[in-house]
């Protein structure tokens, strides 16, 4: 008999078909009476497939006594209780590396979009405003000072792309990296003071919650731009709204938010803010590679072999 698997959110048709071949799949997001389901199936669920943006609640994992593996279709694991996983003995995997290029590309795209006002420019043409005169000037993307908070795989990929823009690149992270030539700053506040565009690319942890706070945003200054492609929790969203409203920042470009999919109405109404619906890894190519890695982790676990990309 196939093991039970809990699918936390919709996946690509190809990935769902592969999961169906291997497991008895239960779509958690389609189950109306979740308590009744757990009473009937809790003992049969051995695997969960979820997204980094969703994770698995401590309570749900605790309700599944035979849970063996949580396979994350994404790189972030901040919404899975790793202490619980270690204590209970279930494995956690993610899909690093395969999405690095896409997220880095988006970081550059968002930076250009907000500096060159591409969204506003598109609307300027579509609305017919161009017929009445030229659009106001925007700002250069090249030869600017870029700061990257979090110089891991994605942060480094962003930096490599920025080199082609003749950018002055600095970074802040857990510590100075000996093999990195970029200027290092020991705090996000110091980094903000030294850059025009601050790109947030660090992992979400309890230590990084609201690390981009009002002080950092104000240090970035009236000519500064914030770009966030990591997690919404790293930025104090209320402070960001306040600073943007008061003219304390030139603009922002955001792919992630604190309470997704809910976005503050104030941000939606700002012309100097570019918004995206958490699409960092949302390409056909990368989603296919992510699916392959999720399946490889599941197959390895149930075959009793080494996991390709374990978290715990």
Residues forming the active site: 231, 260, 278
DSSP letters, 198-243, are EEE-PPP-GGGTT-B-HHHHHHH-TT-EEEE-S-GGGB-HHHHHHH
Distances (CA, A) of 129 to 117, 123, 265: 15, 8, 25
**Spatial distance between the Cα atoms of 131 and 263, rounded to a whole number of angstroms:** 33
**Spatial distance between the Cα atoms of 49 and 298, rounded to a whole number of angstroms:** 9
| Residues 81/61, Cβ–Cβ less than 8 Å | yes
**Spatial distance between the Cα atoms of 223 and 215, rounded to a whole number of angstroms:** 15
> What single-letter DSSP state applies at residue 95?
-
- Taking the CA atoms of 310, 15, 107 and 203 in sequence, report the sign of the dihedral they define: negative
Token pair listed for 62: 């605790």
**Spatial distance between the Cα atoms of 134 and 261, rounded to a whole number of angstroms:** 35
Count of CB atoms situated within 10 Å of the CB of 66: 13
């Amino acid at each position: 008999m196939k093991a039970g698997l809990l699918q936390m959110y919709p996946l690509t048709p190809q990935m769902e078909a592969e999961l169906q071949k291997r497991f008895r799949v239960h779509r958690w997001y389609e189950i109306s009476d979740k308590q009744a389901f757990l009473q009937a199936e809790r003992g049969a669920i051995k695997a969960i497939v979820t997204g980094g943006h969703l994770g698995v609640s401590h309570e749900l994992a605790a309700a599944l006594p035979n849970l063996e593996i949580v396979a994350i279709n994404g790189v972030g694991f901040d919404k899975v209780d790793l202490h619980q996983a270690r204590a209970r003995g279930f494995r956690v995997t993610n899909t690093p590396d395969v999405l690095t290029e896409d997220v880095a590309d988006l970081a550059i795209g968002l930076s250009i979009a907000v500096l060159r006002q591409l969204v506003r420019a598109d609307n300027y043409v579509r609305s017919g405003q161009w017929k009445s005169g030229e659009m106001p000037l925007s700002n250069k993307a090249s030869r600017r000072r870029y700061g990257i908070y979090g110089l891991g795989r994605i942060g480094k990929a962003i930096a490599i792309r920025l080199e082609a823009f003749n950018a002055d690149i600095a970074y802040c992270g857990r510590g100075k990296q000996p093999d990195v030539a970029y200027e290092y700053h020991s705090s996000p506040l110091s980094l903000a003071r030294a850059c025009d565009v601050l790109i947030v690319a660090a992992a979400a942890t309890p230590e990084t919650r609201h690390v981009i706070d009002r002080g950092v945003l104000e240090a970035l200054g009236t000519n500064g731009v914030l770009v966030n492609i990591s997690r919404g929790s790293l930025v104090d969203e209320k402070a960001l709204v306040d600073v943007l409203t008061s003219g304390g920042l030139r603009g922002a470009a955001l792919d992630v938010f604190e309470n997704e999919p809910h976005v503050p109405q104030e941000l939606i109404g700002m012309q100097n803010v570019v918004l995206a619906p958490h699409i960092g890894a949302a390409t056909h190519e990368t989603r296919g590679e992510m699916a392959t890695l999720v399946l490889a982790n599941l197959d390895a676990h149930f075959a009793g072999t080494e996991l390709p990309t374990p978290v715990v």
